[in-house]
Structure 1
Amino acid sequence: MALTPSRTDWRRAVDDLLAGFGAWQMWLLLGLNDIRQRYKRSRFGQFWITLSTGIFVAGIGIVYAYLFNHPVDEYIPYLSVNIVFWTLVAGILTDSTTVFTQAGHYLGQQALPKTAFVMRVLVRQLLVLAHNVVIIVLVYLAFGVALPATAAFVLPALVVLLLAAFLAAITIGLLCTRFRDLPQIIQSLLQVAFFLTPIMWRVEQLGDKAHYIVGYNPFAIFLMLVVEPLHGKWPSWDLYGRAFVIIAIMALVAAPLFARFRARIVYWL
């Protein structure tokens, strides 16, 4: 069996991509419905998204502020921003492991663009982000933290993050549909990545060693790209450069993989 995509494979993959983006009503409604169904019979409903993240930030924030000997009024705003956007990153990668298996009852009945279900994952996690952003607002108000002038750079950084997430979701979704042990491996890797990424600790705490742990850590690169503007730091061109290099590598992996094996997804379900 040839592993290199044919010209027909590439054409159908491009058609799938265009049709997937064009079916925006479908993936938007599916993403909204996923959030509604998750909290359908809950008394607090979707407020549980904000409440659970807020409790985590408050509990962990106080403990680690004393552990790292940082003022609570400085550490909790720092942690809240990092946790909210890490939840977005981890949520997209976790949901990507089941992006096609979860859509099996749709894909098994009619020919739908596979990329539409990848967009469904992004919409679902962006809705979770919208709920969790409330935590940042409340924490900033509670501790009297002013929104920095650099905050506007969060939006372009978020676009770059979502581009990388789209490519990662396609790759992870395909591989996890074919190899059903991979979701557990990815969950384990995310747990390790959480501690190797500057979420609860600051880069400055590592000193010279930060270059090796943060500089080559894709999780750290994309997270810092989004959160640093909210910490009052101007975006670094070096950070953007590293992010685009990673995106280019991801595209070189995701594109041929999707083109070659897109048609086999239904048979793997």
Structure 2
Amino acid sequence: MSDPLIRPDLVTSSAGPFLAAAELTQSEARATSSHSHPRGQLMGALSGLVSVGLDRQTWVVPAIHAIWIPPHFVHSVRSYGPFSGWSVFIAEHRCAPLPREPRAIRTTPLLREAVRRVATWPGVELDPSQTRIAEVIIDELAASRAESLDLPRPDDPRLVRLTDALASDLSDNRRLEDWAAWAGLAPRTLSRRFVAETGLTFAQWRQQARLLRALERVADAVPVTTIALELGYDNVSAFIDMFRRAMGTTPGRYLAQESRGESAS
């Protein structure tokens, strides 16, 4: 069982300050089992990487990003290796203007600095100056744009079996037709059901799964060549091209930016 990140009443009760925050730095992986709480939670990474299991999706939160978890959403958390990050907990009655569904966002320097300031407070009612800083966090979250850092999970048992098999070996390069035969589906049926249940084509889902796994492995400082082979790429260049298109930079530069707490944009 991991030690509490923040005083429990600042997570489970709307009494006290309407917004509280805590920072965490650790040298080893950390895991929190499925749970929920009345307050909304904005969870951000400064260095390293954390994944969040939420509903039927897995969300990956690399450095300079955060995930918004509205009140009462059941979720689990896992970090990978050394990690530095933060969480903000917002009282339910202040969550009305915020996104109603979970959302991954790219954080701004203003948001990160405001969180850093709030994390030093003692967890009592906010004075007017503190309230203004807390309102900045809420405004920044309300104005944020969603980032594609999630991997939707289908409902159809045949597709669940297929995606579980694919996720367990992302180096498997079998075509959609081969996977359809393996799952006992017609290729057109598989293609149609995939889009209907995940919003992604089969190829898009596999690429998103590979990207999220790549972010995990990059955060663990695994060599790029090793990651490329694990994900089924014929050569390192093809993997780097995919990573650059998705993240706006190469894996090596991304890791360097992440360690310095910089944005890739």
Alignment TM-score > 0.5, same fold? no
Interval containing the TM-score (normalised by the shorter chain): under 0.3
TM-score (norm 2): 0.27
Higher RCO (Cα < 8 Å, 6 or more apart): 1
* Structure having the larger proportion of residues in strand: 2
* Structure having the larger proportion of residues in helix: 1
TM-score (norm 1): 0.26
